[in-house]
Structures are given as structure tokens and as C-alpha cells.
Amino acid sequence: MRSVFNGLKLVGAVTAGAVTALVGLLFVLLAAPFAGRPAVRRAAGWLTRLELWRLRLDLPDRRADGEPRFLAARAPVGLLGGLVLLVLVVGAGTAIRLGWAWSRGEPFDGMAPTLPLLAYILVVGAVAAFLVLSGLVGVETLERRLALRLLAPDPAEALRRRITELTESRAGVVAAVDAERRRIERDLHDGVQQRLVALSMLAGRARRGRPELLADLHEQARQALIELREVAWRVYPSGLDAHGLAEALAGVAERAPVPVTVACDLPERPPPPVETAAYFVAGEAVTNAVKHAAATLVAIEVRQEGTMVVVRVQDDGAGGADPAGGGLTGLARRVAALDGRFTVTSPPGGPTLIEAELPCG
């Protein structure tokens, strides 16, 4: 059944290709004198996108200068597909007429059914069907190769672009590490260090005969431990290695001052770098939602789609988040270092949606 469905899809794709080949050829002939005009380039882009959709090809970085050449080059291939389909239709029609005549006991084209003739027709029909199907597959394969040859980015240019991306990613990781170190230093200096100074002063006053300060001393010590624990969790959560991403995100939800829902649906634990990046994306997104967006509810969702781990964090805050801000830029660099994709959707008034796709396969 699946083979029949795939065969029908192939016939439909080649049929559509034959029709669009005529359209493309007509467009190339009529638009050639006006090739430099923006409207002509837009029309060529639209026809090319249609062909790529039909061929199930995704070329987001295709070469715009190759679109007219592709439309011109695929026209004869599409017309060849139309001829193969014509042979298929004629052959199928002949087989139906022959079967109908012989089933009624009538000769077909002066031929009555005999055993040698039946064997001959079956062999010829099977060979013809094989050749037609091979022709259909060949036409689609040739069209796909033409698209890749004329539209795909130049390999040397793609390599240069990849080197540039890796260089920027490496520089971004270094900058993100430095920014994280500076933030840790501020947290220690402005939080824990000040708390410990106050704690030391209270201890000295209590030793000089002020026992009523012992309660304050105890509270300051407790707060210092809480803040130190928070700094340690922001550096790296110890529970991530021991208990996995779901438990670590549950800890983020427990420590958040607003309600946070967590849905972590992963069939197996991702690699440690991916797990770490997913945790920090979710944690930083929650922090931003509380600190900058005045959110009252945050939802974290982690799931696997194919070879990607997808992290989505949505809040009901005021929106307007700037993707170029320090925190979000650091997350984007962390995700880019793993060849992932990072997007921020935050219209004014909200909601804000932060999504990271991390390859794990």
C-alpha cells in the first residue's frame, strides 16, 4: 500500500512538473528582455519556490542569480516527464481496451486471445511498465540534481560562510564566558560578600556583650548560605549531573518567585553539553521574565523533535524583550556554539516566547 501511495505521489509530482515546465518556459521567453526588473526577479523567485516545494527541497540560502537558469534548464526535463506520462497513459488505455474486448469474447485489433499472445503481452507490458516507472524516477531525480546544481550555494562560499560562523561562534563563547564571570563576581561582591561583612560585624558586637544580636547573627548566616547556594546554582547546578534535566528544571521552578510549570518529555538523556545549554536557556529565560517582564506565570517545555532537543519558555509578561540584550545574547551564543538555533518572539504587550533548538544526534 505504501509503494502504491509513493507511486501515485511520484506520478502527481511529475504531472505537476510537466505543467509548471510549460509555465516556466513561457515565463523565461517572455521575461528575458526584462530580466533586470525587480518584478521579474520576484516572479522568478516565486516560480522557483513552487518548484522546490514540489520537489520537497529546502534551500533557504539558494542563489537568486541561478533562478532564471534553473527555470530554463528544467523546462525540457519537465516536458520529458510529460512525454513519459503520455506513454504511461497510452499504454494503460491500450491495456484497458484490450482487457475489455477479450473479456467480452471479442478480438482486439484483429487478435484473439491465445496462450502465446497472452504471454507475449504480459512480458511486453511488464517491461514497458518498468521503463515508464524508471523514466518517472529519473525525471524527478534529474530535476532535483538540477535544482541543487544551479540553486545551492557554491561549495567554496558555503565553506567560507561556515568558517565565519565558527569564528563568530568561538568569539561569542569567549565573550559569554567573560560576561558570566563578571556576573558571578558582581553576585559575590554585592551579595554574599556584603552579607558576610555584616555577619562578621554582628559576631564582633555579640562577643562584646550583646547576646540579643545572636538572632540577627543567625538570620544573616542563613541568608548568606541561601545567596551562596544561588550563586553556585547559577554557575552550574549540581543536580543536573546527578538527577538530569527534569529535576534541575524543577529546582528552577521551586526557586522562582512566580509560578513556573515544567513539561520535560525526553525519551533519553541528551549529551551533557546539550543538557547544560537547555538548562541555562530555561533558567535565564525565567530570570528575565521575572526581572524585566513582570510575568506572573512562566511555562517551560522541553521535548525532542527528530534529532533536536527543543526548549520553549513562554511567559505572560509585558513583552518587548530585546534579543540583543546581554542575557539573551549570551544564550544565543551558547546555543550557536552547539550549531543550534535560537529565536526570541516578544511583541510589545507580550507574551514572550524564547525557543532554542539544540542538535543531539
Instruction: Please tell me the predicted confidence (pLDDT) of residue 126.
Output: 85
Sheet arrangement for strand 308-315: 260-265, 298-305, 308-315, 352-359, 341-345
Instruction: Please tell me the predicted confidence (pLDDT) of residue 21.
Output: 83
CA angle, residues 179, 184, 188, in degrees to nearest 5: 150
Residues 6+ apart with CB under 8 A from 141: none
Determine phi and psi for 35, rounding to 5 degrees. Answer: -60, -25
Cα separation, 284 vs 145, in Å, equals 44
Q: Which amino acid is at 352?
A: T
Q: Which three cell numbers stand for residue 51?
A: 518548484
Nearest to 300 by CA among 288, 235, 324: 288
Cα separation, 40 vs 24, in Å, equals 12
Per-residue pLDDT of the chain (361 residues; tens, 9 = 90+): 677 677 778 788 888 888 888 888 888 888 777 777 788 788 888 888 888 888 888 777 777 777 888 888 888 888 888 888 888 888 888 888 888 888 877 777 777 777 887 888 888 888 888 888 888 888 888 888 888 888 877 666 667 776 776 666 665 665 566 566 566 656 666 666 666 666 666 666 666 666 666 666 666 666 666 666 666 555 666 667 778 888 888 888 888 888 999 998 888 888 888 888 888 888 888 888 888 888 889 999 999 988 889 999 999 888 888 777 667 887 888 888 788 889 998 888 878 899 999 988 6
pTM of the model: 0.49
- 19-48 per-position pLDDT tens digit: 888 888 888 888 777 777 788 788 888 888
316: buried, middle or exposed (CB in 10 Å: 19+, 13-18, 0-12)?
middle
Instruction: Please tell me the predicted confidence (pLDDT) of residue 157.
Output: 66
Instruction: Please tell me the predicted confidence (pLDDT) of residue 38.
Output: 82
In this structure, the strands spanning 260-265 and 298-305 are parallel
Instruction: Please tell me the predicted confidence (pLDDT) of residue 176.
Output: 60
Instruction: Please tell me the predicted confidence (pLDDT) of residue 361.
Output: 64
Write out the DSSP string of 289-310: HHHTS--S-EEEEEEEETTEEE
CA angle, residues 20, 67, 56, in degrees to nearest 5: 60
Instruction: Please tell me the predicted confidence (pLDDT) of residue 43.
Output: 83
